[in-house]
Amino acid sequence: MFQQFTIQAPLSAIDSELQQKIDNKTKPLGALGELEKIAFQLGKIQQTVMPDVSKPKMIVFAADHGVVAQGISLFPQEVTPQMVMNFLMGGAAVSVFCDQHNVPLRVVDVGVNAALDDHPLLGARKVAMASKDFSQEAAMTADEAARAIQAGVDEADLAIDDGVNLLMFGEMGIGNTCVSSCMMTALIGTSASDSAGRGTGLDVAGVSHKAKVIEQSLKRAEQETDQSMSDWSAQTLAEQVGGFEILAMAGAMLQSAQRGTAFVVDGFICSVALLFAQKIASNVREYAIFAHQSNEKAHKLLLEHLNAEPILSLDLRLGEGSGAILAYPLIKSACVFLTTMASFESAGVSDSTS
């Protein structure tokens, strides 16, 4: 059994002071749109009218998936460790964007199907050499699920103990859009055809095959557990159809929220991790800032389910935290306007009530 989390919703004591400060900036009411909502959320989370995200960190969790054996990805499994090395060497999209915005990057191996050499940016928290093929058997044991979540908890603690005040999460793992779609179907009851998407570029036939694999996998799991998926606990769902990196992201989100630290949700897979985390502790949602709506077709449905308004919509479907780091400058701007922009009084500007 994985650990329990006690997450309090951010206190409302500062709400009126925050809103007054936002409204008294030299602008019409609401004129900075979503930036005002982000500033308010960050101020409420940090319980200050001077929120600060000047010490961010990007953590990318990586793992492989046994279900790749069913032909649900265009890319072979060996791409996962190859891309991990690309992250570490600074050549991936998330790497160059993190470098552009001076955001430290850490890559965490929770289940890559290869032995990875030591590297200063690499966190070695391998649970197993990939999850099992969940179309044929449970994806992982109870102990493996607990260790995957704990890997995320430990990474969040490591960052926050170092003074990080905004966490961003990404993932890497060939086949993990299939795993995420399967988890989404189990969590909110969407059909497999609605949750399955193109992933790394599948054609119509490939997406249809992926949906059938998801249906087969969930049917197998329901028979094995003698339970409808709608009745599964978070523990059962993780064991039957989870992915190590998705559980690790969920663990990191839960611990971030438990410690009162805001975090940025990347795209579809990261959103599924939040959906799973919310099943464990519902208040985790209060600490999440949504970076973007991806091109993966199920992401729009999932964002609507989460009642989430993402910052960007750039037709991305890369994963690896790329959308989260692209949203970071806007999150930073939300803090800057609240902390630095003049008020009507300080600027000597008449407001609409003058």
Supply the CATH number for residue 314's domain.
3.40.50.10210
> Backbone dihedral region of 320: left (phi > 0), alpha (psi from -120 to 50 degrees) or beta?
left
The residue range of the domain holding 179 is 56-337
pLDDT band at 198 (very low <50, low <70, confident <90, very high): confident
Beta strands in the chain (DSSP E): 56-63, 105-111, 122-124, 166-172, 263-265, 288-290
Residue 193 lies in a domain: yes
pLDDT score for 317 = 87
Residue 351 lies in a domain: no
pLDDT digits (tens, 9 = 90+) for 277-319: 999 999 999 999 999 999 888 999 999 999 999 999 999 989 9
For residues 124 and 207, the answer to whether their CB atoms sit within 8 Å is no
Average pLDDT over residues 157-175: 98
Average pLDDT over residues 193-199: 85
CA distance 70 to 239: 19
pLDDT score for 353 = 60
Residue 342 lies in a domain: no
pLDDT digits (tens, 9 = 90+) for 4-28: 899 999 999 999 999 999 999 999 9
Residue 344 lies in a domain: no
CA distance 7 to 253: 11
CA distance 217 to 137: 8
pLDDT band at 351 (very low <50, low <70, confident <90, very high): confident
CA distance 191 to 182: 9
Residue 306 lies in a domain: yes
Residue 14 lies in a domain: no
Residue 333 has pLDDT above 70, yes or no: yes
Choose, from 155, 245, 296, 320, the residue flagged as catalytic. Answer: 320
pLDDT score for 352 = 66
For residues 50 and 142, the answer to whether their CB atoms sit within 8 Å is no
Residue 17 lies in a domain: no
Residue 109 has pLDDT above 70, yes or no: yes
Percent pLDDT > 70 in the chain is 99
CA distance 334 to 328: 10
Could you give the C-alpha distances from 281 to 11, 38, 100, 198, in angstroms and in order? 17, 22, 34, 30
Residue 354 has pLDDT above 70, yes or no: no
Residue 349 CB: number of other CB atoms within 10 A?
A: 12
SS3 at position 166: strand
Q: Which residues contact 84 (CB under 8 A, 6 or more apart)?
A: 62, 107, 109, 112, 116, 122, 172
pLDDT digits (tens, 9 = 90+) for 252-269: 999 999 999 999 999 999
Domain count of the chain? 1
Mean pLDDT of the chain: 95
Any catalytic annotation for residue 171?
Answer: no
Residue 187 lies in a domain: yes
Average pLDDT over residues 314-331: 95
